[in-house]
Structures are given as C-alpha cells and as structure tokens.
Homo-oligomer: A and B are copies of this chain.
Amino acid sequence: MLRARLRVSDQLGLVFGALADPTRRQMLGTLMRQGSTSVPALTAELPITRQAVAKHLSALAGAGLVERAPGGSGREIHYQLRPGALEPAASWIREADQAWAGRLDRLKSSLESPR
C-alpha cells in the first residue's frame, strides 16, 4: 500500500539534507565570508541560473539556516545566516561522535582482555 512517509517536520533531517548539497554548502561559505548576500550576487559566482539559486536559498531557509536580512533598501533581497541554526546538527554530531568513540573504546578493551 506504499506507506505514507509523512516526514512530519524532521528538523534535523532538513538541516542535514540542506548540508548534503555542495552548491548549498558553497552558498553558506559565501555567507560566512561576506555576512550577507542576494540571489543576483550568488548567481554571479555559480554556474546555475537565478531561478536555481533562488530554489537553493529557499531550501536553506526551509531548514532554518538562512533568513531575510532586515533593512533591504535596494530592490535586491538580502539573506543572512540565522543565529544558532547549526546547533541541533552540531549537537547531534557531538553526541554521536562521543557514543562512537565510547563504542570503540569498549571494543578495544574487549580485545585487550581476551578469553
């Protein structure tokens, strides 16, 4: 019956999913270096169309990684990093890394104290 696959607002999944695309990571890189950017600016440094850039930006916004920059005097809409947005992902990785290492330690000690 092909299960529903509701995907009920999997925040962590959205963040990791957004980070999975190299183009999106590059956009974030630009944002980190320059603080704020816009669709036309990103289009200038990427080999894709304005529309594709806009789609990626809205994916990043959907994951909460990016938001509209206030001000916006000109006609271009500017975007900036959203404070704390990386935190859930960072802490998942941190916890996993710890459990990972713990697992390996236990494995190692079980190898060191055999039969």
Chain B proximity of A100: nearest CB distance (Å): 5
A103 and B86 contact, Cβ closer than 8 Å, known pairs A20-B13, A96-B28: no
Interface of A is mostly: helix
Interface size class of A (residues with CB under 8 A): 35 or more
A100 interface neighbour in B20, B81, B104, Cβ under 8 Å: B81
Q: Are A103 and B81 in contact (CB under 8 A)?
A: yes
The B-contacting residues of A in range 44-82, CB under 8 angstroms, are 47, 80-81
Q: Using a CB–CB distance below 8 Å, which chain A residues touch chain B?
A: 3, 10, 12-13, 16-17, 19-22, 25, 28, 31-33, 35, 47, 80-81, 83, 85-86, 89-90, 92-94, 96-97, 99-100, 102-104, 106-107
